[in-house]
Amino acid sequence: MLALFLRDIRLSIRAGGGALTGVIFFLAVIATIPFGVGPDLNLLARIGPAILWIAALLACLLGLDRLFQADREDDSLDLLVLGHDRHMLALTVLVKCLAHWAGSVLPLVVAAPLLGLFMNMEPIGIGATTLTLLVGTPAITFIGAAGAAVAVALPRGGLLISVLVLPLTIPVLIFGVSASYGAVTEPDPFLQPFLILAALTLFLAVLGPVAAALALRHGTD
Protein backbone atom coordinates (compact mmCIF):
# COMPACT_ATOMS: atom_id res chain seq x y z
CA MET A 1 0.00 0.00 0.00
CA LEU A 2 2.88 2.31 0.77
CA ALA A 3 4.23 1.41 -2.66
CA LEU A 4 0.98 2.54 -4.27
CA PHE A 5 1.03 5.79 -2.31
CA LEU A 6 4.60 6.53 -3.32
CA ARG A 7 3.94 5.63 -6.95
CA ASP A 8 0.98 7.97 -7.18
CA ILE A 9 2.88 10.78 -5.48
CA ARG A 10 5.75 10.27 -7.93
CA LEU A 11 3.35 10.32 -10.85
CA SER A 12 1.77 13.53 -9.67
CA ILE A 13 5.05 15.41 -9.39
CA ARG A 14 6.69 14.07 -12.56
CA ALA A 15 6.05 15.58 -15.97
CA GLY A 16 2.37 15.72 -16.88
CA GLY A 17 1.39 14.95 -13.33
CA GLY A 18 -0.86 17.89 -12.69
CA ALA A 19 0.27 18.68 -9.14
CA LEU A 20 0.70 22.30 -10.20
CA THR A 21 -2.37 22.62 -12.42
CA GLY A 22 -4.67 22.95 -9.44
CA VAL A 23 -2.47 25.54 -7.72
CA ILE A 24 -2.24 27.64 -10.86
CA PHE A 25 -6.00 27.48 -11.36
CA PHE A 26 -6.48 28.43 -7.70
CA LEU A 27 -4.09 31.34 -8.11
CA ALA A 28 -5.82 32.48 -11.31
CA VAL A 29 -9.28 32.49 -9.74
CA ILE A 30 -8.20 34.33 -6.59
CA ALA A 31 -6.12 36.84 -8.53
CA THR A 32 -9.03 37.81 -10.77
CA ILE A 33 -11.54 38.28 -7.95
CA PRO A 34 -10.23 41.73 -6.82
CA PHE A 35 -10.41 42.94 -10.43
CA GLY A 36 -14.00 41.85 -10.70
CA VAL A 37 -15.16 42.97 -7.28
CA GLY A 38 -13.27 46.25 -7.28
CA PRO A 39 -10.79 47.76 -4.85
CA ASP A 40 -13.11 47.71 -1.83
CA LEU A 41 -10.76 46.26 0.77
CA ASN A 42 -13.43 45.73 3.41
CA LEU A 43 -15.63 43.85 0.98
CA LEU A 44 -12.70 41.68 -0.13
CA ALA A 45 -11.84 40.87 3.48
CA ARG A 46 -15.46 39.96 4.15
CA ILE A 47 -15.88 37.61 1.19
CA GLY A 48 -12.28 36.32 1.41
CA PRO A 49 -12.87 33.02 3.25
CA ALA A 50 -15.81 32.11 1.03
CA ILE A 51 -13.91 32.91 -2.16
CA LEU A 52 -10.88 30.93 -1.00
CA TRP A 53 -13.09 27.96 -0.24
CA ILE A 54 -14.99 28.08 -3.51
CA ALA A 55 -11.80 28.45 -5.54
CA ALA A 56 -10.16 25.59 -3.64
CA LEU A 57 -13.24 23.43 -4.19
CA LEU A 58 -13.17 24.03 -7.93
CA ALA A 59 -9.42 23.47 -8.07
CA CYS A 60 -9.92 20.17 -6.22
CA LEU A 61 -12.43 19.04 -8.82
CA LEU A 62 -10.07 19.90 -11.64
CA GLY A 63 -7.72 16.95 -11.40
CA LEU A 64 -10.21 14.38 -10.20
CA ASP A 65 -10.98 12.83 -13.58
CA ARG A 66 -7.42 11.51 -13.80
CA LEU A 67 -7.68 9.70 -10.47
CA PHE A 68 -8.65 6.36 -12.03
CA GLN A 69 -8.65 7.16 -15.71
CA ALA A 70 -4.87 7.21 -16.04
CA ASP A 71 -4.75 3.77 -14.46
CA ARG A 72 -7.53 2.53 -16.68
CA GLU A 73 -5.84 3.63 -19.87
CA ASP A 74 -2.79 1.47 -19.29
CA ASP A 75 -4.67 -1.47 -17.72
CA SER A 76 -3.15 -0.86 -14.28
CA LEU A 77 -6.68 -0.52 -12.97
CA ASP A 78 -7.41 -4.16 -13.93
CA LEU A 79 -4.49 -5.30 -11.84
CA LEU A 80 -5.50 -3.09 -8.92
CA VAL A 81 -9.00 -4.59 -9.08
CA LEU A 82 -7.57 -8.10 -9.33
CA GLY A 83 -5.51 -7.46 -6.23
CA HIS A 84 -8.77 -7.35 -4.28
CA ASP A 85 -8.04 -10.49 -2.29
CA ARG A 86 -4.76 -9.14 -0.98
CA HIS A 87 -5.62 -5.48 -0.65
CA MET A 88 -9.27 -4.72 -0.26
CA LEU A 89 -10.24 -2.54 -3.20
CA ALA A 90 -11.79 0.13 -0.99
CA LEU A 91 -8.45 0.39 0.82
CA THR A 92 -6.62 0.69 -2.48
CA VAL A 93 -8.99 3.50 -3.44
CA LEU A 94 -8.45 5.18 -0.07
CA VAL A 95 -4.69 5.10 -0.59
CA LYS A 96 -5.08 6.49 -4.08
CA CYS A 97 -7.26 9.27 -2.68
CA LEU A 98 -4.72 10.10 0.00
CA ALA A 99 -1.94 10.18 -2.58
CA HIS A 100 -4.06 12.37 -4.85
CA TRP A 101 -4.80 14.68 -1.96
CA ALA A 102 -1.17 14.90 -0.89
CA GLY A 103 0.02 15.40 -4.45
CA SER A 104 -2.59 17.76 -5.88
CA VAL A 105 -4.65 19.27 -3.09
CA LEU A 106 -2.13 19.80 -0.31
CA PRO A 107 -0.29 22.38 -2.49
CA LEU A 108 -3.57 24.34 -2.57
CA VAL A 109 -3.72 24.38 1.19
CA VAL A 110 -0.12 25.53 1.31
CA ALA A 111 -0.83 28.30 -1.19
CA ALA A 112 -4.01 29.42 0.60
CA PRO A 113 -2.32 31.73 3.17
CA LEU A 114 -0.53 33.62 0.42
CA LEU A 115 -3.72 34.01 -1.57
CA GLY A 116 -5.52 35.08 1.60
CA LEU A 117 -3.27 38.18 1.52
CA PHE A 118 -4.67 38.97 -1.93
CA MET A 119 -8.09 39.12 -0.32
CA ASN A 120 -6.97 41.47 2.45
CA MET A 121 -7.84 38.94 5.15
CA GLU A 122 -6.72 39.23 8.77
CA PRO A 123 -4.00 36.81 9.90
CA ILE A 124 -6.40 34.91 12.13
CA GLY A 125 -8.90 34.59 9.30
CA ILE A 126 -6.18 33.31 7.00
CA GLY A 127 -5.11 30.81 9.62
CA ALA A 128 -8.65 29.60 10.19
CA THR A 129 -9.39 29.27 6.49
CA THR A 130 -6.17 27.35 5.89
CA LEU A 131 -6.95 25.03 8.79
CA THR A 132 -10.49 24.38 7.55
CA LEU A 133 -9.15 23.73 4.05
CA LEU A 134 -6.63 21.29 5.49
CA VAL A 135 -9.35 19.39 7.30
CA GLY A 136 -12.11 19.76 4.72
CA THR A 137 -10.46 19.17 1.34
CA PRO A 138 -9.87 15.43 1.91
CA ALA A 139 -13.65 15.07 2.06
CA ILE A 140 -13.91 16.57 -1.42
CA THR A 141 -11.34 14.10 -2.71
CA PHE A 142 -13.20 11.17 -1.14
CA ILE A 143 -16.53 12.19 -2.67
CA GLY A 144 -14.75 12.93 -5.91
CA ALA A 145 -13.31 9.42 -5.97
CA ALA A 146 -16.83 7.99 -6.14
CA GLY A 147 -17.64 10.34 -9.02
CA ALA A 148 -14.38 9.55 -10.77
CA ALA A 149 -15.03 5.82 -10.43
CA VAL A 150 -18.49 6.14 -11.96
CA ALA A 151 -17.20 8.16 -14.89
CA VAL A 152 -13.95 6.21 -15.35
CA ALA A 153 -14.96 4.74 -18.70
CA LEU A 154 -15.92 8.06 -20.25
CA PRO A 155 -13.17 9.67 -22.32
CA ARG A 156 -14.11 13.26 -21.40
CA GLY A 157 -15.57 12.60 -18.00
CA GLY A 158 -14.08 15.62 -16.24
CA LEU A 159 -17.10 17.87 -16.50
CA LEU A 160 -19.50 15.06 -15.68
CA ILE A 161 -17.53 14.29 -12.53
CA SER A 162 -17.69 17.94 -11.48
CA VAL A 163 -21.42 18.05 -12.02
CA LEU A 164 -21.92 14.77 -10.16
CA VAL A 165 -19.71 15.71 -7.27
CA LEU A 166 -20.42 19.39 -6.78
CA PRO A 167 -23.85 19.02 -5.10
CA LEU A 168 -22.41 16.45 -2.69
CA THR A 169 -19.61 18.78 -1.65
CA ILE A 170 -21.99 21.56 -0.63
CA PRO A 171 -22.15 20.47 3.06
CA VAL A 172 -18.35 20.49 3.20
CA LEU A 173 -18.32 23.97 1.72
CA ILE A 174 -20.98 25.27 4.10
CA PHE A 175 -19.26 24.04 7.25
CA GLY A 176 -15.80 24.98 5.99
CA VAL A 177 -16.86 28.55 5.27
CA SER A 178 -18.90 28.94 8.44
CA ALA A 179 -15.98 27.74 10.56
CA SER A 180 -13.69 30.19 8.77
CA TYR A 181 -16.11 33.03 9.49
CA GLY A 182 -16.56 31.83 13.04
CA ALA A 183 -12.91 32.53 13.73
CA VAL A 184 -13.14 36.21 12.77
CA THR A 185 -16.70 37.35 13.46
CA GLU A 186 -18.20 37.38 16.96
CA PRO A 187 -20.42 35.77 18.18
CA ASP A 188 -20.27 33.02 15.53
CA PRO A 189 -18.70 29.84 16.87
CA PHE A 190 -15.59 28.33 15.27
CA LEU A 191 -15.34 24.99 17.00
CA GLN A 192 -18.78 23.52 16.27
CA PRO A 193 -18.75 23.87 12.47
CA PHE A 194 -15.09 22.87 12.47
CA LEU A 195 -15.85 19.64 14.32
CA ILE A 196 -18.72 18.88 11.95
CA LEU A 197 -16.33 19.48 9.06
CA ALA A 198 -13.87 17.01 10.59
CA ALA A 199 -16.69 14.54 11.09
CA LEU A 200 -17.75 14.92 7.46
CA THR A 201 -14.21 14.16 6.33
CA LEU A 202 -14.00 11.05 8.50
CA PHE A 203 -17.44 9.87 7.41
CA LEU A 204 -16.66 10.36 3.74
CA ALA A 205 -13.26 8.70 4.15
CA VAL A 206 -15.23 5.49 4.66
CA LEU A 207 -18.19 6.04 2.38
CA GLY A 208 -16.37 7.50 -0.63
CA PRO A 209 -13.79 4.72 -1.14
CA VAL A 210 -16.39 1.99 -0.56
CA ALA A 211 -18.71 3.53 -3.14
CA ALA A 212 -15.83 4.07 -5.56
CA ALA A 213 -14.64 0.48 -5.13
CA LEU A 214 -18.13 -0.78 -5.87
CA ALA A 215 -18.33 1.34 -9.02
CA LEU A 216 -14.88 0.19 -10.15
CA ARG A 217 -15.66 -3.49 -9.65
CA HIS A 218 -18.73 -3.23 -11.80
CA GLY A 219 -17.30 -0.79 -14.26
CA THR A 220 -14.57 -2.97 -15.77
CA ASP A 221 -15.21 -4.00 -19.33
Partner 1 sequence: MRLIAENLGGERGGATVFSGIGFVVEKGEALVVTGPNGAGKSTLLRVIAGLLPVAGGRVRIEGGGEDFPSIASACHYLGHQNAMKTVLSVAENLRFWRDFCGAPLLSVEEALETVGLGGIGHLPFGYLSTGQRRRASIAKLLVSRRPLWLLDEPTAGLDKASEARFGGVMTDHCRKGGIILAATHLPLGLDGAKALVMGMAG
What residue ranges bind partner 1 (CB under 8 A)? 2-4, 6-7, 10-11, 14-17, 73-76, 78-87, 220-221
Query: Which helix or strand (DSSP H or E) is residue 4 part of?
Result: helix 2-13
For residue 172, report the phi and psi dihedrals to the nearest 5 degrees: -60, -45
Q: Considering beta carbons, is residue 37 or 217 the nearer one to partner 1? A: 217
The minimum distance between CB 87 and partner 1, in angstroms, equals: 7
Q: How many Cα neighbours within 13 Å face the side chain of 220?
A: 14
The minimum distance between CB 20 and partner 1, in angstroms, equals: 15
Region of 16 (left: φ > 0; alpha: ψ -120 to 50; beta: rest) is: left
Distance, in Å, from the CA atom of 120 to the CA atom of 106, rounded to the nearest integer, reads: 22
Q: Considering beta carbons, is residue 17 or 22 the nearer one to partner 1? A: 17
Q: Considering beta carbons, is residue 75 or 186 the nearer one to partner 1? A: 75
Distance, in Å, from the CA atom of 121 to the CA atom of 109, rounded to the nearest integer, reads: 16
The minimum distance between CB 169 and partner 1, in angstroms, equals: 29
Distance, in Å, from the CA atom of 55 to the CA atom of 9, rounded to the nearest integer, reads: 23
Q: Considering beta carbons, is residue 46 or 96 the nearer one to partner 1? A: 96
Q: Considering beta carbons, is residue 3 or 39 the nearer one to partner 1? A: 3
Q: Considering beta carbons, is residue 13 or 50 the nearer one to partner 1? A: 13
The minimum distance between CB 90 and partner 1, in angstroms, equals: 15
The minimum distance between CB 80 and partner 1, in angstroms, equals: 8
The minimum distance between CB 197 and partner 1, in angstroms, equals: 33
Distance, in Å, from the CA atom of 115 to the CA atom of 121, rounded to the nearest integer, reads: 9
User: What dihedral do alpha carbons 141, 170, 184, 47 form, nearest 10°?
Assistant: 100
